[in-house]
Amino acid sequence: MSLSNPFHVLGVAETADDAAIKKAYLQKVREHPPERSPERFQAIRAAYEAIKTRRDRLSYRLFEHETPDPARLVASALQIGARRRPTEQQLRQWLNNHLTGQK
């Protein structure tokens, strides 16, 4: 388990929604209460705070997550429109999908 990745700490997929993340957080807190496992509880609490809302998850992906491979991003962007430039809406959709982990 990687303690630096809040999704791994809570045991949820990177595509998990607010409800799934809260449910996993509460389960982990029951398993590791602060009285018995203070360090583990702190890691769980920090993970939850880092990704508890959609906005938090987006911020995590933008600023604290591994930087995506630029070649992969460019190749993916080029697949939007084979012979023509993508529209602004297509680029926004593509960027949103990649930042939120949707395909």
Which domains, from first to last, does the chain contain? 1-53 (1.10.287.110), 67-103 (no CATH)
Residue 66 confidence (pLDDT): 62
Contact partners, residue 40, CB within 8 Å, separation at least 6? 32
Residue 39 confidence (pLDDT): 94
Per-10-residue mean pLDDT of the chain, 103 residues long, equals 79 94 97 94 95 92 72 70 71 81 62
pTM of the model: 0.60
Residue 92 confidence (pLDDT): 84
To which H or E segment does residue 91 belong?
helix 88-100
**Farthest-apart Cα atoms in the chain, separation:** 61
Task: Say how far apart CA 15 and CA 11 lie, in whole Å.
Answer: 12
Residue 68 confidence (pLDDT): 64
